[in-house]
């Protein structure tokens, strides 16, 4: 996509009075109209709200204000509350629920001048890695309509990958931003846990969920982060400590940085072509002045098991509130108990039920210590491993996903789908800031056109400034994203 379509360029032009937010918005809707029918990134387009917001932005600019995201078209994952919009979480349970309040992150983006154009498709309640678990629609990959966009934030990744909008928001619990970013050839960034308020983000796993941006450039992701990050009195798990600005601290080289390559994440296990791709990526890091060092994460192999106990346990409790009493779907029953069971049976899809069941089991009497507590302790070990690794490096580099985007229905066995998050889950367990930046393309095992891949970069807790700075240097030097063109209709 062209330079003048980045969030930075749009905000610059709108602030300078060279472009109107309302015009920028119209152009975005034109681009969406051109490819959305077969892409299916959105569950709803919010034309009226968007026009009103764009007009508000133009008025504020006319009044002399300067807004960091003035007029920037924005897509919102449909698990974020935005007043007056249906907020469905990709579930029949909330198919017609209209949010009466704004998520803090959404509110901060609105105040910064961003213009939400619609709500994007997702795996139901953010549980999945392909968007196939959405109960409300199919989203396809902008680079091959036969393939999934990744998930759970598939719609938000796809709309940016397709060039509809420069910026979107997703949420990442075990890789739900980084994996689809890799699949859709965009930048996807999950900040440190507690950096961006979860207030108004419909919970999947509270101790892991984190909102983050998708963008075409690292700079745009940084702009969005700078707007959203910081303590929120409505979320007791946000961290009350100053936010280092990132958009103004981007780097052009990696001189003096030690980048750790994780022994347990050796890409050669992923086949020769993918191994070669990552070898090249690591060389590119070195060419930019970084020193590559080997690090170990002995508990990496336990990440998946740990995650698939903790996340379901939390979700089994978080999703109890969907009981047909106060809002959302209700399926009648002779008694309240029957009404609950009928409502939840009809409202939740198979993957959500699976996770509620496993989580309920892991917390139930007699199994709590063996499963839930054991997983919490394993989580401590994972975090300790990273702390040890970061003693000898400043950043960690690894694949963002074990393969490029796969075809629909390719992962029928639940566990094979869970494996997609193998490289992203450990960072989530440790709460670490991490992102995926495009690093080229490979031909999938099952043929077809070359599909994008992502390089995952990871920093210590609160290391966003260094992380985004380094990713920017890599992106500028390699320009991999631009080497690949999305399919247009």
Partner 1 sequence: MASDGIDVRYVAKLARLALTDTELEQYGTQLGALLEHVSVLQKLDTDTIAATAQVIEARNVDRDDLVLPGLDHAAVMAGAPDPQHGFFRVPRIIASEG
Partner 2 sequence: MTTTAASGVTYEAVIGIECHVELKTKSKMFCGCPNVFGAPANTNVCPVCLAMPGALPVPNRQAIEHLVRAGLAFGAEIPAFSKFDRKNYFYPDMPKDYQISQFDMPLTQGGVVRFMLEDGTKGECRLTRIHLEEDTGKSTHAGSGDGRIAGSTYSLVDFNRAGVPLMECVGEPDIRSAAEAVAYLETLKRTFVALGVSDVKMEEGSLRCDANVSVRPVGQAEYGTKAEIKNMNSFRSVYHAIESEVARQIAVIESGGRVIQETRGWDEQAGTTHSMRSKEKAHDYRYFPDPDLVPMAFAPDDVARIRAELPIGPYERFVKYVDGFGLSVAQATQLVDNGALATYFDAVADGSGQPQAALNFVLGDLSRLANESQIAVADSKVTPAALIELVGLVQAKTINSKIAKELIVKLWAEGGSPKAIVERDGLAQISDPAALAGFLDTVLAANEKSVADFRAGKENAFKFLVGQVMKASRGTANPALVEEALRSRLSSEA
Q: In the window 100-119, what residues touch partner 1 (CB under 8 A)?
A: 100-101
Using the rule CB under 8 A, which residue among 45, 55, 249, 339 binds partner 1? 339
Contact between 466 and partner 2 by CB under 8 A: the answer reads no
Query: Among partner 2, partner 1, none, what binds residue 474 when CB lies within 5 to 8 Å by partner kind?
Result: none
Query: Among partner 2, partner 1, none, what binds residue 196 when CB lies within 5 to 8 Å by partner kind?
Result: none
Query: Among partner 2, partner 1, none, what binds residue 202 when CB lies within 5 to 8 Å by partner kind?
Result: partner 2
Contact between 368 and partner 1 by CB under 8 A: the answer reads no
Contact between 99 and partner 2 by CB under 8 A: the answer reads yes
Instruction: Determine the 3-state secondary structure of 182 from DSSP.
Output: helix
Using the rule CB under 8 A, which residue among 40, 194, 260, 460 binds partner 1? 194
Select which of 171, 176, 398, 436 is catalytic: 176
Query: Among partner 1, partner 2, none, what binds residue 22 when CB lies within 5 to 8 Å by partner kind?
Result: none
Sheet holding 291-295, edge to edge: 42-45, 115-120, 73-77, 167-172, 210-215, 187-190, 434-442, 451-458, 395-399, 258-262, 291-295
Contact between 328 and partner 1 by CB under 8 A: the answer reads yes
Two structure tokens written together for 420: 């997609």
Single out the residue of 52, 61, 65 nearest to residue 19, CA to CA: 61
Single out the residue of 5, 488, 467 nearest to residue 254, CA to CA: 467
Contact between 364 and partner 1 by CB under 8 A: the answer reads yes
Instruction: Determine the 3-state secondary structure of 184 from DSSP.
Output: coil
Contact between 383 and partner 1 by CB under 8 A: the answer reads yes
Site string for partner 1, 129-148 (x = CB under 8 A): --------------------
Single out the residue of 23, 9, 470, 388 nearest to residue 218, CA to CA: 470
Q: Which is nearer to partner 1, 289 or 333 (CB)?
A: 333
Q: Taking CB under 8 A as the criterion, which residues in 195-234 touch partner 2?
A: 198-203, 205-207, 233-234
Q: Which residues pair with 454 in a beta bridge?
A: 438
**Number of amino acids touching partner 2 (CB under 8 A):** 44
Q: How far is residue 332's CA from residue 102's CA, in Å, rounded to a whole number?
A: 30
Instruction: Determine the 3-state secondary structure of 259 from DSSP.
Output: strand
Instruction: Determine the 3-state secondary structure of 86 from DSSP.
Output: strand
353 carries an active-site annotation? no
Single out the residue of 46, 87, 76 nearest to residue 328, CA to CA: 87
Query: Among partner 2, partner 1, none, what binds residue 345 when CB lies within 5 to 8 Å by partner kind?
Result: partner 1
Q: How far is residue 170's CA from residue 435's CA, in Å, rounded to a whole number?
A: 12
Site string for partner 2, 336-365 (x = CB under 8 A): xx--x-------------------x--xxx
């Amino acid at each position: 996509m062209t330079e003048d379509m980045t969030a930075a360029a749009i905000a610059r032009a709108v602030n300078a009075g060279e472009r109107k937010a309302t015009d920028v918005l119209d152009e975005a809707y034109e681009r969406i109209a051109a490819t959305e029918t077969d892409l299916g990134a959105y569950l709803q387009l919010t034309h009226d709200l968007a026009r009103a917001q764009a007009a508000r932005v133009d008025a504020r600019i006319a009044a002399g204000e300067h807004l960091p995201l003035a007029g920037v078209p924005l897509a919102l994952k449909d698990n974020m509350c935005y007043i007056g919009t249906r907020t469905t979480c990709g579930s029949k349970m909330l198919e017609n629920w209209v949010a009466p309040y704004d998520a803090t992150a959404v509110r901060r983006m609105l105040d910064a001048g961003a213009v939400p154009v619609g709500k994007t498709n997702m795996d139901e309640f953010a549980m999945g890695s392909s968007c196939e678990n959405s109960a409300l629609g199919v989203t396809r990959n902008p680079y091959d309509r036969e393939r999934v966009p990744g998930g759970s934030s598939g719609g938000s990744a796809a709309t940016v990958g397709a060039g509809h909008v420069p910026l979107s928001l997703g949420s990442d619990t075990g890789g739900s931003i980084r994996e689809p970013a890799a699949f859709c050839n965009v930048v996807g960034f999950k900040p440190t846990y507690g950096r961006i308020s979860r207030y108004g983000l419909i919970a999947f796993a509270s101790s892991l969920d984190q909102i983050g941006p998708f963008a075409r450039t690292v700079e745009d992701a940084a702009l969005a982060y700078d707007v959203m990050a910081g303590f929120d009195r409505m979320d007791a798990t946000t961290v009350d400590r100053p936010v280092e600005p990132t958009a103004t601290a981007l780097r052009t080289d990696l001189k003096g940085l030690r980048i750790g390559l994780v022994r347990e994440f050796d890409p050669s296990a992923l086949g020769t072509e993918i191994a070669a791709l990552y070898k090249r990526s690591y060389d590119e890091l070195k060419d930019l002045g970084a020193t590559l060092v080997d690090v170990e994460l002995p508990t990496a192999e336990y990440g998946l098991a740990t995650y698939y106990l903790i996340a379901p346990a939390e979700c089994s409790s978080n999703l109890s509130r969907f009981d047909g009493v106060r809002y959302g779907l209700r399926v009648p029953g002779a008694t309240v108990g029957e009404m609950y069971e009928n409502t939840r049976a009809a409202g939740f899809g198979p993957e959500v039920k699976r996770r509620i069941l496993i989580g309920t089991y892991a917390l139930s009497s007699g199994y709590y210590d063996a499963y839930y507590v054991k997983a919490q302790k394993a989580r401590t070990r994972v975090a300790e491993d990273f702390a040890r690794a970061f003693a000898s490096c400043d950043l960690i580099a690894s694949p963002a996903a074990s393969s490029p985007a796969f075809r629909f229905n390719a992962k029928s066995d639940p566990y094979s789908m869970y494996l997609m998050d193998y490289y992203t889950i450990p960072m989530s367990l440790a709460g670490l800031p991490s992102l995926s930046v495009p690093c080229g393309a490979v031909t999938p095992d099952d043929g077809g056109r070359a599909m994008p891949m992502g390089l995952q970069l990871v920093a210590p807790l609160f290391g966003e400034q260094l992380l985004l700075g380094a990713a920017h240097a890599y992106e500028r030097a390699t320009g991999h994203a631009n080497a690949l063109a999305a399919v247009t209709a």
